Amino acid sequence: MNYWLMKSEPGVFGVDDLAKSPGKTAAWWGVRNYQARNFMRDQMLVGDRVFFYHSSCPEPGIAGIAKVSKLAYPDETQFDHKSEYFDPKASRDAPRWFNVDVTLVRKTRLLSLPEMHKHAELASMRVLQRGNRLSITPVEPHEAEFILKLL
């Protein structure tokens, strides 16, 4: 099993929105970074664990645990002319963007970014590195185990 940190803005789609989704499951859509897309398309497996991270908000941090419940498939927003995620270079025969489905395992207390910075065990996490803006990053097993103990 792999571990991932996936960022979402709670004003757009937060852990509470996932909790209210049918079956507590939703597509992780709108990713428009090639490296993050490649993580979803090429490396995520059903059953992988996800740390649901609230970003671009007053108090960023991990707000829940989810699991990957469906392998990567084309993100429909790339084909929607009305969507802010529309991509004119994408086609149904050659989609450029993908999403996976995630299912909520449980909401957690907020493990804030400042609190994460306090732990030497998490110092190498990509989310804690200066300049990291990726919305999806892998989490090393030892980091995941430590986070789970904190939650």
| C-alpha span between 62 and 77 (Å, rounded) | 26
Q: Whole domain around residue 89: which residue ranges?
A: 3-150
Q: Number of structural domains, the chain?
A: 1
Over residues 58-78, the mean pLDDT reads: 97
**Does residue 61 register a pLDDT over 90?**
yes
CATH code (residue 72): 3.10.590.10
Q: Is the pTM of this model over 0.85?
A: yes
Q: Which uninterrupted H or E stretch holds 34? A: helix 34-38
pLDDT at residue 101, as a whole number: 98
Grade residue 87 by pLDDT with cuts at 50, 70 and 90: very high
pLDDT at residue 130 in the model: 87
So what's the pLDDT on residue 132? 84
Mapping DSSP to helix (H, G, I), strand (E, B) and coil, where does residue 137 land?
strand
Measured CA to CA, the distance from residue 30 to residue 146 in angstroms comes to 29
Which residue's structure tokens are 């306090």? 118
